[in-house]
Amino acid sequence: MNRIPKFFVILIVLGAALAAALWWMKPAQPPAPQASDLRPSGPAASVQRAIELTQGEVTTVSPTRIARSVPITGTLNAVEQTVVKSRVSGDIRDIRVREGMSVRAGELVATIDPLEFELKVSEREALLRSAEAQLEQARRTLLNNQALLEKNFISQNAFDNARWSVDIAMAARDSALSQLAQARKSLADTRVLAPMAGVVAQRFVQPGEKVSPDNRIISIVDLSRMEIECPVPAGDVGSIRIGQPITLHIEGVEAAQTGTVLRISPSAQAGTRSITVFIGLGSRDGKLRAGLFAQGSLTLEQRDGVLAVPAASIRDQAGRRFVYAIEAGHIVEREIKSGLLDEAARAPNGAAGMIEITAGLKSGDRIVAVNLGALRPGAAVNFTTPR
């Protein structure tokens, strides 16, 4: 009975040893393939994903007009403006104008109390009458003395004294006339008149205030002629000419305004090395105001019928300038040579800036008009419709 269990134990041990030997001799399985090993090789590996572009990201090269310009910015100033000041001292009786009101040349704008000056005029008139009476008396005395001298009733010395009395009386009469004229002018100066036509910009005094000579009363500006002072780089001034037109956009004014180059400063400004250009423009509709900000561009050079592309389409890489063109539905690099830059021009997609192309492209070529980063030459292109 004890031999049977021993036999089974021996069989179990032998079976375990056999299984271990078989496991040890089993060949190793290859590792599971990775995702990168599943990529196709050969011709299938060259297939790339197509680049999707919208119609607005592509433009067709065609002849156009391009210009080199310099930006112009400045503040409007009135060419003709003045400050009306008091010429005499006194109390302001009334002021007939306020800010924003139009005035004509010679129009009464303010009045200074004239009572004191009217009294001075009366006094000077009385002094003049007295001087004239004394002159008349001296002349009569001279005539009498001349008759007496002819009859040898008086000496020559007495006659000369009478003649000198006439001269003194005439001088006194002339002095009285001058003083009367001065008094009348001072009386007239109590009526403050506008020296020019324009619009009242500021009123400095109120009725009842006392003013002295040279005190400001109002300021007047003529808005019919405006001027802008604009700094321009010294290197561009040589291309600017007197009378050259320019289109300006002014804040608060919807319609564009046309200006003209009036003057060019003869010297550069210290520090900035820029030269001031004066641009004038008229304001017939009265919409322009002094102090408004204006901006525009002054054309220095203009070319027609040249090929140009958006500035954003040109790429610089390792000293090369190129654009991404589309040929047979695929992306290709086209090296180009550029010329004039027109910063004010607008590309067909609305982007600012156009650059002249002197070599590398021809009319009808299609290029990527925007900067989409680095693109793969040879990649296919699909056009999508933006939502």
Is the predicted pLDDT of residue 231 greater than 60, yes or no? yes
pLDDT band of 303, cuts 50, 70, 90: confident
Domain ranges in the chain with CATH number 2.40.30.170: 71-79+223-301
CATH of 51-68+303-384, one of 2.40.420.20, 2.60.120.40, 3.40.50.150, 1.10.357.10: 2.40.420.20
| Phi, psi dihedrals of residue 55, rounded to the nearest 5° | -65, -30
Is the predicted pLDDT of residue 167 greater than 50, yes or no? yes
pLDDT of residue 284: 67
* pLDDT tens digits, one per residue of 72-93: 899 999 999 999 999 999 999 9
Domain ranges in the chain with CATH number 2.40.420.20: 51-68+303-384
Q: Which of 249, 286, 285 is nearest to 72 (CA)?
A: 249
Amino acid at the residue 40: P
pLDDT band of 375, cuts 50, 70, 90: confident
Domain ranges in the chain with CATH number 1.10.287: 114-189
User: Of 12-21, 211-220, 256-265, 308-317, where does mean pLDDT reach its minimum?
Assistant: 12-21
Bridge partners, 300 (sequence order): none
User: How confident is the model over 163-191, as a mean pLDDT?
Assistant: 95
Is the predicted pLDDT of residue 2 greater than 70, yes or no? no
Spell 285-316 as b/e; 16+ CB within 10 A means b.
Answer: eeebbbebebebbbbbeeeeebbbbbbbbbbe
Alpha-carbon distance of 347 to 301, in angstroms, equals 19
User: How confident is the model over 253-267, as a mean pLDDT?
Assistant: 89
User: How confident is the model over 314-332, as a mean pLDDT?
Assistant: 88
The residue ranking higher by pLDDT, 159 or 172, is 172
231 contacts 276 by C-beta, under 8 angstroms: yes
> How far lies 176's CA from each of 131, 159, 173, in Å?
7, 26, 5
CA of residue 14 relative to chain centroid, distance: 105
User: Of 9-18, 80-89, 153-162, 290-299, where does mean pLDDT reach its minimum?
Assistant: 9-18
User: Of 28-37, 215-224, 293-302, 346-355, where does mean pLDDT reach its minimum?
Assistant: 28-37
Averaged pLDDT score across all residues of the chain:
85
pLDDT of residue 46: 41
pLDDT of residue 4: 52
pLDDT of residue 6: 62
Is the predicted pLDDT of residue 36 greater than 70, yes or no? no
pLDDT band of 35, cuts 50, 70, 90: very low
Alpha-carbon distance of 298 to 294, in angstroms, equals 13
pLDDT of residue 387: 53
Burial classification of residue 197, based on how many CB atoms lie within 10 Å of its CB (0-12 exposed, 13-18 middle, 19 or more buried): middle
Report field, pTM of the whole predicted structure over 0.75: no
User: How confident is the model over 202-215, as a mean pLDDT?
Assistant: 95
User: How confident is the model over 322-337, as a mean pLDDT?
Assistant: 90
Bridge partners, 73 (sequence order): 295
* pLDDT tens digits, one per residue of 40-64: 444 443 445 788 888 888 888 888 8
CATH of 71-79+223-301, one of 2.40.37.10, 1.20.120.1200, 2.70.150.10, 2.40.30.170: 2.40.30.170
* pLDDT tens digits, one per residue of 97-145: 999 999 999 999 999 999 999 999 999 999 999 999 999 999 999 898 8
CA of residue 198 relative to chain centroid, distance: 23
pLDDT of residue 272: 81
Is the predicted pLDDT of residue 212 greater than 80, yes or no? yes
* pLDDT tens digits, one per residue of 141-161: 989 888 888 888 888 888 888
- Under CATH, which architecture does the 114-189 domain have? Orthogonal Bundle (1.10)
